[in-house]
Structure 1
Amino acid sequence: MTHLNSDRILVKPARHKADVVLPEEGTVAAYLIDALGQGSSVDQIVAETGWTKSMVIVNLYKVAKKSGVGIRRRNEVMHLLVPKGAENVYPRKQAARSINDSRNHVGKPLTAPFRMH
């Protein structure tokens, strides 16, 4: 039997939906939340931001903890988790538009609003 250590919850979401505070649009934190909402691998975020893997992971953890959302990793893809009853907090109206636009362009990567070295 093969155990996939990568398939697990990395950060648990807040207990209550009132504890979810999504970051302001256009910020690095909002980009990372949107990347999780679309399901992104660390390697994809590395390629889009120019960050190191460790920098991506640290920032994902910080943003998730501060926002009250969780992270689940399944088959090396990170996914956004929200508390029960908070399904209406994400995707945001503006984020939903950009997510739907990117889904119409299969294979199109997320667009990072910045590049850090």
Structure 2
Amino acid sequence: MKNAVSRFFFITFLALALSCLMSGCSNTNDYEVYGAIHGCVTDYETGAPLDNATITLSPSGLSKQTDAAGYFEFKNLEPMQYTLTVQKQGYQPNRKTVTTMSGEDFQTDVQLKPIPEN
């Protein structure tokens, strides 16, 4: 009986020790390794938000449309330099270069100038 009790406490101790050791191990997934780019697209002259503007991110090739408030967001981006190309019918395209960092959100707002009417 004494051996069974000793064995039970020994196994319980080992399980607790192993549990403590495992909880202290770090996993690279615990760290934010990706960045994000977000912002608003507005009319250069009026400041009004532009919905349905197309933002293309190079070199990734990702593309998004702005919402009704002119907002866009790209998530889970590798840390590197990107070029945003923003286009909307009736407006001159605009390009911006941004650099993302691990775990950081980069905000960039873009203004588009209307194409002059002839």
- Structure ranking higher in strand proportion: 2
* Bigger proportion of residues as helix: 1
Structure of higher RCO (CA pairs closer than 8 Å, 6+ residues apart): 1
